[in-house]
Structures are given as C-alpha cells and as structure tokens.
Amino acid sequence: MNTGNDADSKTSGPPAPVPAAGNFIEEIILEDLRTGKNDGRVHTRFPPEPNGYLHIGHAKSICLNFGLALKFGGQCNLRFDDTNPTKEDVEYVESIQADIRWLGFDWADRLFYASDYFEQLYQWAEFLIQKGKAYVCDLTADEIRDGRGTLTRPGAASKFRDRPVAENLDLFRRMRAGEFPDGTRVLRARIDMGSPNLNLRDPVLYRILHRDHHRTGAAWCIYPMYDFAHGQSDAIEGITHSICTLEFEDHRPLYDWFVEELELPHRPRQYEFARLNMTYTVMSKRKLLRLVTEGRVRGWDDPRMPTIAGMRRRGFTPAAIRNFCERIGVAKKNSTVDYALLEHCLREDLEQHAPRVMAVLRPLKVVIENYPEGQVEWLAADNNPNDPAAGTRPVPFTRELYIERDDFREDPPKKYFRLYPGNEVRLKHAYYIRCERVVKDPATGVITELRCTYDPASRGGATPDGRTVRGTLHWVSAEHAVPAEVRLYDQLFAVESPDDVPEGQDFTVNLNPHSLEVIPDARVEPGLAAAAAGSRFQFLRQGYFCADPDTSPERPVFNRTVTLKDSWAKIEKKQSE
Ligand code: ATP
Ligand code: MG
C-alpha cells in the first residue's frame, strides 16, 4: 500500500496497482487484503437452490460473486444448495449452469453440491450431540413453531431439550437408519430459547424426509436444513466472503455459532447486500413457478419472464445484463429498480451491434404505377450506421411493395409527415414516392392498396431538385418479402408493484392481459427467412427483434426484444429534478 511516506515508496518501488473499491463489499475485501486476512485469498461462491430457473435478481448475485473473484484475482465456486429433495430437480441444475455460462462466467472445475457434504454434515451433527449442543426433539412442527415464541414473547424449552447425549445419539442414528416416519422427530441445536434472535432459539438442523434426492438417490432419509448446510459448505470450500441477501442478516449469528461450535479450521464470513427488486415484475421463484404451472406464460423461458432463460429468448444480450448489474450497484438498503433502466442498458448494446433490416408488421400494399412491371432493382442498404465495417446488403425494389398500414392516413392530422394522398415520402434506401390514389374494398370501405408514382431521379435517397421530403418509411418488396410471425411483448404485469395486492387477493390479479400480441402475417426482408434462432436485428423504426427458437425458413418467427423509445432518459431527468 502507498502510505504517502517517501522512505516507504523508495524501498518498495512503485506500488502495485490496487483496484478502487466500487461498493462496500469491495471495501471490506480491500481491507482484508491489506491486513493479510485469509492469506490474501478472495474466494466467493454462487449458491443457487435448484428449485427453479435463475432470474434477473440472481444475475445480480452472479455478477457480484464472479465479478469480485475476477477483480481481485480470486475464485468463485458454483455450489448447488440442494438440501430439499421435495422441490429440486436436475432440470433446474442444468438450466442454472447454462444460464451462468451464457452470462459469461466460468466456475472452471469448481462445481459443487451441498449434497456432496451430507456425510460430513451428518458427522458434524453427531459432534454437536456429543458436545451437548444438539438434541432430538419429538414435538410436532406446530408445537416447535409455537414454542419458539415471537419477537415479544420468549421461547419455551422443549421437554426433550435435556435428553441425555446417549439417547440423542441413538435416536439420531435411528432417524438416519429410516426407523421413523416423516415429521415425527427432528434434530435441533441447543442454543438459547431466550435469545432476542429467533434463529438462535434451538433451530432445527435435520428433518426426516423419506424422499429420493436427485443426486444421492435413496441414500438419505434425513436432510439438513439450509442454515446447517450453508456455512459449513462455505468452510469446506475455503470460501472467504460468503455473500448473501439481507434477509439472512439475522441468520449470521447462527452461521457464526456453527463455525465456532464445530471448531472449523477455516472460518468463512457472511456479508449481506440488498436484493434486486424491479418494477412490473415478481422475483420469487415460488411465484414464477406458479406462472409456469398455471399456464399464465408459455414456460420458464417465456420472453415475458424475468428469468435469464426468458430474457435470452426475448433477445437480451449477456453484456446488457452485466452492464445493468454494474449500474445498479451493490447497497445495504433494499430498493426497487425501474424496469426502464434494464431496457435502457439493452438498447445501448443493441444500438451498437444489431444489424438494421426492414420488416413491415401490418402490411399495406403500394403499387408504383410508373415503375416497370417485372423489373427488380437490388439496392444497397447499409447494415449498421454505427459500424462502418458492417457493410451493405442488397434489398429488392419492385413495382409492388408493402409499407406499414400506420404510415398512411387518408385524413392526416397536423404535422403528419408520412404518406397521405398527394404527399411525397422517401422510401429508405430507395426512391421518393407520391400517393396518387387510394383503393378501397367497396363492401367494407377498408383501404386495400395505394396507387403511387416514384421519381426515378431520387434513387438511393438523392434529392433531385433540392425539394424537401420529411417522412422516411421502411418497406419491403411484395414479391420478395417473406411472411413471418411477430410476437410483441408488453410488461407481464399491469402495475408497478405486482406483489402489492389487496387482502384476500393474489398477485395474479395484476397480470397484464395484453402482455402478448401475436402478429401472424408480417412481411420481412427475404434475407431474414434464414435468420438463426437467437440472432438480433433492428427492424427499422420498429424496435429490436430477435429470431425465436420456433423460427424456420418456412415460417420465420421474431420476438420484439424492446422498442426504440427510451423512457429511462425521461425518468432519470425527473429523478434529478
Ligand atoms: P427463493 O425465491 O426460493 O427464496 P432465492 O431467490 O433466495 O430463493 P436461491 O437459489 O437461494 O434463491 O438464490 C441463490 C443466490 O441468489 C442467493 O445467494 C441469493 O441471495 C441470491 N439472490 C436471489 N434473489 C436475489 C435478488 N432478487 N437479488 C439479488 N440476489 C438474489
Ligand atoms: Mg434462497
């Protein structure tokens, strides 16, 4: 460290670059490094329970844990916290790994499972029994809950609290051997029924569950509780900074109690940070699971879900999500982040990298009367004005085109610069056209096509005689365009805080009935038929879109990732006022 002392810096040479602290956890780590704690090691872990898909809140924790390891030259483990076989599944184990990799992080060969440690945890439980620090309790779950007391009422000791060590050992071994049915007995720590911290009032360490586990099969019929598994797993793996969300602050004394009482050689420390909450969405896995099982969405990877899998399908980039996590920072106080910030980070990335193409979502036919029938001109269209290296592609121009139905008005309002009878507009990459006549279905009065003329001297957007044309429209050749399905998404919930519901009602009352609109017959540039699933584009003037896994050359399918309009800038301005 540079102390500012001349003599110091002369003897030690130029100081090694020390990264600056970006948040309070980094400050703690820098201080630990300065004092030589943990032999200068930084070792974190991301500990998901495989009982659901990862969501954007988990992304915050992933970016934090893996990010700290990267920043301080340390390591980050992936550890599945798989202590509850009733809710866990290999489907989740696999999706979680895929999602973390997709986000751009790597745990190398450090993939672990709390279930790897079941035997060790069991031995530690026996050790506590032998120390007189744990006992087998025959009370029912209700009696235990009741006896625990409340914040204002102290707990009452279980009548099994003073069981002799030998009897506890015998019963615990028979619990393991499968002699007792579910729910008949538990192992509890013997700490302090009068503690102001409820977590210290003889918490349950093991419960009986005659249930196969996705990894250990039928080997166990007793399973450790989260609190009894977590800190010890950290200790086994040599974790230095065990970072979790604020709800676990009150569990920290218990975490430390186990480390102390088990006389563990390595002593990890737990630090808590504020979880991510976001407007217009829910982040509880239990609620997300309900949306899936009740068919409110099409699956965990529905593009409206706040899951990583859903966001990937929607067209989010890993860089946008990482950037978002960086911008929201790491704090000690809970808050809610505006969904618009996430979209803002996404646009920032897509604006740089997504190729521009033309797609007409709600087609209206245009016939250019003075353009030769059967003629095709392949015009050069630039792929990305932000990236000169992106080059151009040929797009076909023909006598019959489609434009967006919304880009024409028979009776234009004031300041309407798009197409209307007698007005001239520019077709992007092509020519000026003027609307001469409107053709309607005589029966319904619906406009079926526009008859237009073009100015051959305006090719490629050249202005023939300096006349001004204010509107520029996107278009596709009717002959060449490919029919496509386009899925437009809006917020999954209609209100900012979907978790706030009147008593007796359920969060699902806040679902947005218009969160998905399917357009079955859009028309896209011919090149888009071959778009690989997952490829992203800007549909000019429409937004960013991404080819869905359902896409095929016969039936291209695109998801709208995000619109072009950025509401974040406005929100930011309002906030600073
Ligand atoms: P549940 O929704 O079932 O309570 P969980 O969201 O805590 O579960 P875990 O699988 O235990 O799910 O989470 C793994 C890690 O991700 C934990 O360290 C947890 O603190 C962190 N995490 C979960 N949700 C968020 C969130 N919204 N913001 C930040 N971190 C989160
Ligand atoms: Mg959890």
Give the per-residue SS3 of 382-440: ECCCCCHHHCEEEEEECCEEEEEHHHECCCCCCCCCCECCCCEEEECCCCEEEEEEEEE
pLDDT by residue (tens digit) across 261-306?
Answer: 999 999 999 999 999 999 999 999 999 999 999 999 999 999 999 9
**Residue 471 near residue 418 (C-beta atoms within 8 A):** yes
Q: Closest Cα to residue 396, out of 426, 355, 430, 362?
A: 430
Give every CB contact of residue 460 below 8 A, 6+ residues apart in sequence: 379, 380, 429, 430
Mutate which of 51, 58, 239 for ligand 1? The one with the most ligand atoms within 8 Å of its CB, which is 58
pLDDT given at position 10: 39
Count Cβ atoms within 10 A of the Cβ of residue 107 and give its class: 0-12 exposed, 13-18 middle, 19 or more buried.
buried
pLDDT given at position 460: 81
Q: Is 58 in the pocket of ligand 1 (CB under 6 A)?
A: yes
Q: Is 48 in the pocket of ligand 1 (CB under 6 A)?
A: yes
**Residue 483 near residue 523 (C-beta atoms within 8 A):** yes
Mutate which of 51, 76, 239, 275 for ligand 1? The one with the most ligand atoms within 8 Å of its CB, which is 275
DSSP single-letter state for residue 555? S
Give the integer Cα–Cα distance in Å for 199 and 50: 24
What is the residue with the minimal CA distance to atom 14 of ligand 1? 48
**Residue 220 near residue 213 (C-beta atoms within 8 A):** yes
Task: Retrieve residue 7's tokens.
Answer: 């003599």
Q: Which amino acid is at 331?
A: A
Residues belonging to the active site: 49, 275, 285
Domain 118-226 superfamily per CATH:
Glutamyl-tRNA Synthetase; Domain 3 (3.90.800.10)
pTM of the model as a whole = 0.93
**Residue 395 near residue 382 (C-beta atoms within 8 A):** no
Lay out the sheet containing 204-208: strands in order across.
Answer: 134-137, 186-189, 204-208, 222-224
**Residue 11 near residue 65 (C-beta atoms within 8 A):** no
| Helix 252-261 × helix 226-237 angle, to 10° | 60
Which atom of ligand 1 lies closest to the CA of 284? Answer: 2
Q: Is 204 in the pocket of ligand 1 (CB under 6 A)?
A: no
Question: Hey, where are the domains in the chain?
Answer: 6-10+24-112+229-346, 118-226, 359-474
Give the integer Cα–Cα distance in Å for 262 and 117: 15
Question: How far apart are the CA of 532 and the centre of ligand 2, in A?
Answer: 36
Whether the domain at 6-10+24-112+229-346 and the domain at 359-474 fall into the same CATH topology: no
Question: How far apart are the CA of 81 and the centre of ligand 2, in A?
Answer: 8
**Residue 333 near residue 245 (C-beta atoms within 8 A):** no
pLDDT tens, position by position, for the chain (577 residues)? 333 333 333 344 555 567 788 899 999 999 999 999 999 999 999 999 999 999 999 999 999 999 999 999 999 999 999 999 999 999 999 999 999 999 999 999 999 999 999 999 999 999 999 999 999 999 999 999 999 999 999 999 999 999 999 999 999 999 999 999 999 999 999 999 999 999 999 999 999 999 999 999 999 999 999 999 999 999 999 999 999 999 999 999 999 999 999 999 999 999 999 999 999 999 999 999 999 999 999 999 999 999 999 999 999 999 999 999 999 999 999 989 999 999 999 999 999 999 999 999 999 999 999 999 999 999 999 999 988 899 999 999 999 999 999 999 999 999 999 999 999 999 999 999 999 999 999 999 999 999 999 999 999 877 778 888 999 999 999 999 999 999 999 999 999 999 999 889 999 999 999 999 999 999 999 999 999 999 999 999 999 999 999 999 999 999 999 999 888 777 777 777 6
Using left for φ > 0, alpha for ψ between -120 and 50, and beta otherwise, residue 522 falls in: beta
Q: Which residues pair with 36 in a beta bridge?
A: none
What is the residue with the minimal CA distance to atom 16 of ligand 1? 58
Q: Is 515 in the pocket of ligand 1 (CB under 6 A)?
A: no
Distance of CA 239 to the CA centre of its chain: 25
Q: Which amino acid is at 255?
A: Y
Q: Is 290 in the pocket of ligand 1 (CB under 6 A)?
A: no
Q: Is 50 in the pocket of ligand 1 (CB under 6 A)?
A: no
Question: How far apart are the CA of 285 and the centre of ligand 2, in A?
Answer: 9
Question: How far apart are the CA of 577 and the centre of ligand 1, in A?
Answer: 34
Give every CB contact of residue 476 below 8 A, 6+ residues apart in sequence: 358, 359, 360, 363, 395, 401, 402, 523, 524, 525
Q: Is 47 in the pocket of ligand 1 (CB under 6 A)?
A: yes
Q: Collapsing DSSP states into helix, strand and coil, what is residue 104?
A: coil
Strands (E) across 169-294 are located at 186-189, 204-208, 222-224, 241-245, 269-273, 276-278
CATH 3.40.190.10 at 6-10+24-112+229-346, yes or no: no
Domain 359-474 superfamily per CATH:
Ribosomal Protein L25; Chain P (2.40.240.10)
Question: How far apart are the CA of 272 and the centre of ligand 2, in A?
Answer: 13
Mutate which of 51, 53, 61, 252 for ligand 1? The one with the most ligand atoms within 8 Å of its CB, which is 61
